Structure 1
Amino acid sequence: MTETAVSHAGSHISRREERIGMLLVFLSALMWSFGGAIARFIEVDDSWTVVFWRSFWAAVFLLGFMAWRDGLRGTLKLFRSMGLPGLAVALCFAVASTSFVVALAYTTVANILLMQAGVPLFAALIGWLVFRERVSGPTWIAIAAVICGVAIMVSESFNGQVSPIGDGLALLIAMVFSIATVITRRFAHVRMTPATCLGTILAGIFAATQVEAFVVSPRDMGFLFAFGALNLGLGLAFFATGARLVPAAIAALLGCFEPILGPIWVWLIHGEVPSARTIVGGAVVFTALLVHIGLEFRRQSRPVRPGVTGMPSPH
């Protein structure tokens, strides 16, 4: 999980680095997908208490990781050098993690998941409008397939009730995560691990102002540690390292493995059998992602034409 320094712009990232980036972003989605299964073990009633301790342990993990990798002075230097791009990414992750908890009080998880299916589309549009990062035809097709697949997965949960606040926050989550993905890719020379760490700190501070009680049982604290350090913190470290190496639309697509794998872990660990529509929708998304990733690796394996540098074609 070494975060290789990149001294050149994101468009000059080599094919090998791009492949590593794709693997790391997938690993971030894999770690995040365990969130639902871990949360089932936590018996704390106040959701803000969960947010606080999850953010706390994620921040501790990320600070420890950076201190181990870069030393104390190097870690401080990383925070000072992340600049406005890093601050923007930190705010995005803080807003996303906080809005998720608030949105659950107004709308269904199904609606939030459907909004999150739009992250690849939002990331592609933002990258194209702001930075003129072209999106290929196969990527657009994969984005459409992902949205359709997630729509099938959550269709059974729709009850016809629309909450402007809840659905607005769900849309906000998708937008800020898309912005964070695009910024991380665009400013590939900036290490975003301290930015994600700052995001967890900000989310924890806000949760501390809303929490009813900080005391939890030793059993719950153990699961909260896993929920924060491994599920959130390690996932953020993978994402911050990998998203800077791949096009924003592809990074967002790989992130869609999270809502696909999540129900599988809950099923295997807690015996909650997914519905037929969940299985069908998940199969659509999983197939679309595998096909698109296979096409990407096939494209990257083609020999570079004479006179062309080793950078990948823009998407």
Structure 2
Amino acid sequence: MTDAASPASPAVPPRPAISPGEERVGMLLVFLSALMWSFGGTIARFIDVTDNWTIVFWRSLWAVAFLLCFMAWRDGWRGTLRLFRDMGLPGLAVAVCFATASTSFIVALSYTTVANILLMQAGVPLLAALLAWVVFRERVATATWVAIAAVITGVAIMVSESLDGAVSPIGDGLALLIACMFSIATVITRRFAHVRMTPANCLAALLACAFAASQASQFAVSSRDMAFLFAFGVLNLGVGLAFFATGARLVPAAMAALLGTFEPILGPIWVWLVHSEVPSARTIVGGAVVVAALLVHIALEFKRQARPERPGVTGVPSPN
């Protein structure tokens, strides 16, 4: 590593070796996290609550409850407390990143369109790859760069109709902040693979919940809305965060961010199927470009991992 002389470097254990099988499991889990997150727009359409901060409060609170129960079931209450204690600064950084991203998303919707936010999020794979390469010298394969370019092109086609020039510097600045926070969280999760990030995600939801509580105008909701808020918090946010925290530590940062791009692709499809919001021709074309790029790249990755390893080759790309 080029920063081996840094005073903080000795405190960072070497990244553990990850087998091809573990990497494939990680890819599946990250994809499942994107799948869970992609249902957010569909669930939100069923909720009648008008105060966005009330939605954030209940969604985050249910996510906290699920993640605490999940960790207690998996590790026991003492193990859960130990996980919170052991997550250290990397876990705290991830928590701040996800809490900032989730709250910024709600505020950004008041200033700009969802399309603009999705366009910014399309840059997450590129930002994550650049951060991992600049900070940790994690090698990014040429095929991954090509796939990243295709993903950005496809999402740009999808949202190009909505970019009519009526943009807000505040809204687009927050959208860029969301992309940056998610990229940083992805890179940290991969680099500190020895740290279990589920408690960090739980802390992120707790921070978002506390902030929303200070902004919400009301907390009372109907039983119907509460049922959808439960699904919004547990299935969409909580399960998605649990899958991501477990899987992102097993795959390169660029690949994790690339798989996460399935969220803005699948989201409009569910809304179309459930709420009959027909996507435009550009959305269909752009989505086809992105899905094709992701499927081809993932197929190539599986083919690469299936090749027999040469003597002396570990099968894990060198961070240098």
Question: For the superposition of Structure 1 and Structure 2, which TM-score range results when normalised by the shorter chain?
Answer: over 0.9
1:9 shift after superposition: 4.2
Residues in 1 aligned to 2:19 and 2:88: alpha-carbon distance in whole angstroms: 25
- What does 1:81-230 correspond to in 2, within 5 Å? 81-230=86-235
For 1:35, the aligned partner's letter is G
1:314 shift after superposition: 5.4
Residues in 1 aligned to 2:238 and 2:256: alpha-carbon distance in whole angstroms: 18
1:312 shift after superposition: 4.6
Does the 8 Å CA contact 1:11/1:314 hold for their aligned counterparts?
no
Relative to structure 1, is the Cα distance of residues 314 and 289 closer, same or farther in structure 2, using a 3 angstrom cutoff?
farther
1:215 shift after superposition: 0.2
SS at 1:12 equivalent: coil
1:163 shift after superposition: 1.1
1:10 shift after superposition: 3.4
Residues in 1 aligned to 2:27 and 2:289: alpha-carbon distance in whole angstroms: 20
For 2:203, the aligned partner's letter is L
Residues in 1 aligned to 2:126 and 2:20: alpha-carbon distance in whole angstroms: 23
Does the 8 Å CA contact 2:155/2:290 hold for their aligned counterparts?
yes
1:162 shift after superposition: 2.3
Residues in 1 aligned to 2:80 and 2:234: alpha-carbon distance in whole angstroms: 18
For 1:160, the aligned partner's letter is G
Q: Who is 1:270 aligned against?
A: 275
Does the 8 Å CA contact 1:36/1:262 hold for their aligned counterparts?
yes
SS at 2:256 equivalent: helix
Residues in 2 aligned to 1:298 and 1:276: alpha-carbon distance in whole angstroms: 33
SS at 1:56 equivalent: helix
2:63 to 47, 50, 58: 58
1:25 lines up with 2:61 in the alignment: no
Residues in 1 aligned to 2:136 and 2:318: alpha-carbon distance in whole angstroms: 15
Identity of aligned residues (%): 79
Figure out how many residues of one structure are paired with residues of the other and give that number: 308
Residues in 1 aligned to 2:116 and 2:165: alpha-carbon distance in whole angstroms: 11
1:154 shift after superposition: 0.5
Does the 8 Å CA contact 1:115/1:174 hold for their aligned counterparts?
yes
Residues in 2 aligned to 1:262 and 1:93: alpha-carbon distance in whole angstroms: 19
For 2:72, the aligned partner's letter is A
Give the TM-score taking structure 1 as reference length.
Answer: 0.96
For 2:36, the aligned partner's letter is M
Residues in 2 aligned to 1:26 and 1:313: alpha-carbon distance in whole angstroms: 24
Q: Who is 1:12 aligned against?
A: 17
Give the TM-score taking structure 2 as reference length.
Answer: 0.94
SS at 2:309 equivalent: coil
Residues in 2 aligned to 1:251 and 1:68: alpha-carbon distance in whole angstroms: 26
Which ranges of structure 1 fall in alignment gaps of 5 or more residues? 1-7
1:247 lines up with 2:252 in the alignment: yes
Cα distance per residue 1:178-206 (max 9 Å; x no partner): 00000000000000000000000000000
1:47 lines up with 2:73 in the alignment: no
Q: Who is 1:3 aligned against?
A: none
Residues in 2 aligned to 1:87 and 1:11: alpha-carbon distance in whole angstroms: 21
Following superposition, which runs of at least 4 residues in structure 1 exceed 6 angstroms of deviation? none
Residues in 2 aligned to 1:30 and 1:218: alpha-carbon distance in whole angstroms: 26
1:134 shift after superposition: 1.3
Decide which moves more: 159-168 or 53-62. Answer: 159-168
Residues in 1 aligned to 2:55 and 2:141: alpha-carbon distance in whole angstroms: 40
Q: Who is 2:314 aligned against?
A: 309
Cα distance per residue 1:148-189 (max 9 Å; x no partner): 100010011112122111100000000010000000000000
Cα distance per residue 1:216-267 (max 9 Å; x no partner): 0000000000000110000000000000000000000000001111111111
For 1:131, the aligned partner's letter is F
